[in-house]
A and B are shown apart, each in its own frame.
Chain A
Amino acid sequence: MTKKVTVWHEAPKALQGKVGGNGMEVALKEVPVQPIGMRAFVTFVIPDYCSDCIYCEGTCANLKFNKERKIMIVNQVGCRGCGQCISSCPTGALQQRNTYLGKIDEDFTHLLGKEPAAVPQSCNMCPVVSGEMPDQGNGPNSVRLLCSGRYEASLALEALTKGCKGVVVVGCLFKDFPFERNKVATEDKLRFSKLLMMRLGIDPDKVQHVNKYVTEGGVRECIQRLSGA
């Protein structure tokens, strides 16, 4: 079943005025989408920031460099929002609805008021979290990224710097991963963040990756272990 909805309702306040004419056009384009799910994370380009490096083109078939307009064009019908292109973008020109930097910052500020022990990072539809703790999976007590491949060391560092005791990265089972490429990316990024934290002198075990069957559990214990409860 498909339905026509506006993908981008309004530019986030932090990005208002940053998105140029072309970007707005791309972002506001109405596309046939499924009403819920991955569509919430569709990617768009801020042309002002695009440096034509085409690093992102190698990560996904839905990205093409438009030579006439000299910007990357995201095929928003095909984009499922896995976020690999965003991670590959050195300049920050690619952004994703719901996970742009300002939003994540807001999330952390929100969490700080509640003094969280650990921040689970998972997507809206996470089978692991929602199965185990239905109240938390979509609730405000987590930073939602579509895919664990979109996890970044900077997010974990920010969370730890802002007072969280740990970060739990929750993602799909590797044998049932919807985005093939992101399997490698997830492992790569977790490895990078552990190396970075070791060099910084932060205990690398403060970032935990949980991708098990719901029945096996793990998220709740992980949060309890990290918060020292």
Chain B
Amino acid sequence: MKGEKAPVEADTGVDPLVMRTNVLYCLDCGKCTGTCPVTAVKPGFSPRRLVEMTLMAKPEEIATNNYIWDCLTCGKCSNYCPTDVRFSDYIKGLRARALEQGGFSVMNHGGITYSIARAMAKGDLKQKRLEWVGGAKVTVAEKGDVLLFTGCMVYFDLIFEPLHIDGAMTVLGNAVSIMNRAGIVPAVMADEVCCGHDELWSGEEGTFAKLMEKNIQAIKRTGAKKIVTVCPECASTIKKYYKEMGGLEIEVVHISQFIDDLLKGGKIKLRLAKGKVTFQDPCRLAQHMEEVDAPRNVIAAVNPGGLVEMRDSKELASCCGTALWRNCDSFSEGMRGDRLRQAKETGADLVITACPKCQIHFSCTLSGKCEEKGIDPNLKVKDLVTYVAENME
């Protein structure tokens, strides 16, 4: 996303949220609406109209405005904004205000992911989150230079059991086995808690602050100099917000960037794979972290010439359609359907993602009625880490 340097906050009497996110500079040009993946499927949603609607709105009007919960906060609009309006950040602030005013939005899966995060934030829990290490037969340590931030995968295993996704043992186990092959023994934390990404972007700032506090202390105990995450959401949260709000000064990379570096250094030897594959850019990696090359380099190393791009790719790629376990509805299902149809058009039979949540969402759509929506039910969805590990010598 643009806007790395924070704008000057002068005491002008203007709402600090508006000042911070440059919303007053909106030209009403409509480039955001033209690029917004939600507008494409949901009539009535438009970022620039939403800005107009909320700029002068009373707090209670913001609480009852449903549109602020429809935004995926993917950040695609900010990449095209000529005046650098940070719309996602603006929405984040609005949601916090809406919650204060008793705003309400339906959570998916009965709100279980939020309940887990709140339980982690509240209590001093002795979690059993390293069970996958034994099953995957890999070597990890308690302390080390490289830290693998495992994220919520261990809980998704339980929640999404019926979808038969690649779980913690596969994704995390493969990530560690790649590292082990390169001679790195990563540290993993038994007292890690959720990174707080979902809470931050849905406006539960109190919960996020508690989670961040716990994580920063745990990270400091490991003595790590580099954090590697399997989930782009964790990566972008720790990289940007832990630094801004918690003062954590450690290099953070997503696993695709890490593997890219390993491959460039010649530390892993690969067996070349065949077949056509396509890549789904996760919004937090492509838009928030502006990383589109690393995963492509990795795929090109595994399968030279096998990567075919979808119609919308790289910065233009649309999100998988659901963020924060909140906005899942017929429109986001439409976005996923569109994405999977694009994947089929390329002629690929494997969609590679770099985000566990994308994998879950696509698997969910593919397990439903595909024929009516024109989706090929034989498409396979696989995580980038698994793809590399399967083709490792």
Cβ contact within 8 Å between B328 and A51 = yes
Cβ contact within 8 Å between B158 and A54 = no
Question: Which of A46, A55, A161 is B123 in contact with, Cβ under 8 Å?
Answer: A161
Q: Which A residues lie within 8 Å of B328 (CB)? A: 49, 51, 90-91
Q: Which B residues lie within 8 Å of A161 (CB)? A: 115, 118-119, 122-123
Cβ contact within 8 Å between A53 and B115 = no
Q: How far is the CA of A161 from the CA of B110 in the complex (A)?
A: 16
| Interface check A184, CB cutoff 8 A | no
Identify which of residues 32-52 in chain A touch chain B, using a CB-to-CB cut-off of 8 Å: 46, 48-52
Question: Which of B66, B109, B125 is A200 in contact with, Cβ under 8 Å?
Answer: B125
**Interface 9-mer from B8-16, B126-134, B242-250, B301-309:** B126-134
Q: Which chain A residue has the least Cβ–Cβ distance from B333?
A: A51
A170 to chain B, nearest CB (A): 20
- How many inter-chain residue pairs (CB < 8 Å) link A and B? 103
Q: Which B residues lie within 8 Å of A49 (CB)? A: 106, 328-329
Cβ contact within 8 Å between B128 and A196 = no
Identify which of residues 119-160 in chain B touch chain A, using a CB-to-CB cut-off of 8 Å: 119-120, 122-123, 125-129, 131, 154-155, 158-159
Q: How far is the CA of A76 from the CA of B204 in the complex (A)?
A: 36
| Interface check B27, CB cutoff 8 A | no
Identify which of residues 69-116 in chain B touch chain A, using a CB-to-CB cut-off of 8 Å: 102, 104, 106-112, 114-116
Number of contacting residues on B, CB 8 A? 37
Given A50-B330, A161-B118, A200-B127, are A90 and B104 also a contact pair (CB < 8 Å)? Answer: no
Q: Which chain A residue has the least Cβ–Cβ distance from B161?
A: A192
Cβ contact within 8 Å between A201 and B127 = yes
B194 to chain A, nearest CB (A): 11
Identify which of residues 330-380 in chain B touch chain A, using a CB-to-CB cut-off of 8 Å: 330, 332-333, 364, 368-369
Contact with B along A8-39 (1 / 0, CB 8 A): 00000111111000000000000000000000
B250 to chain A, nearest CB (A): 26
Cβ contact within 8 Å between B104 and A199 = no
Given A154-B112, A201-B127, are A17 and B158 also a contact pair (CB < 8 Å)? Answer: no
| Interface check B64, CB cutoff 8 A | yes
Q: How far is the CA of A93 from the CA of B333 in the complex (A)?
A: 13
Question: Which of B111, B154, B364 is A53 in contact with, Cβ under 8 Å?
Answer: B364
Which 6 A-B pairs give the minimum distances between C-beta atoms? Answer: A92-B106, A201-B126, A201-B125, A157-B115, A14-B104, A154-B115
Besides A158-B115, A202-B119, 11 new A-B residue pairs in contact (Cβ under 8 A), listed by A number: A17-B66, A87-B110, A90-B328, A92-B108, A154-B110, A157-B112, A157-B119, A158-B118, A200-B116, A200-B119, A202-B123
A contact residues vs B (CB 8 Å cutoff): 13-18, 46, 48-55, 70, 87, 90-93, 101-102, 152-155, 157-158, 160-161, 192, 195-196, 198-202
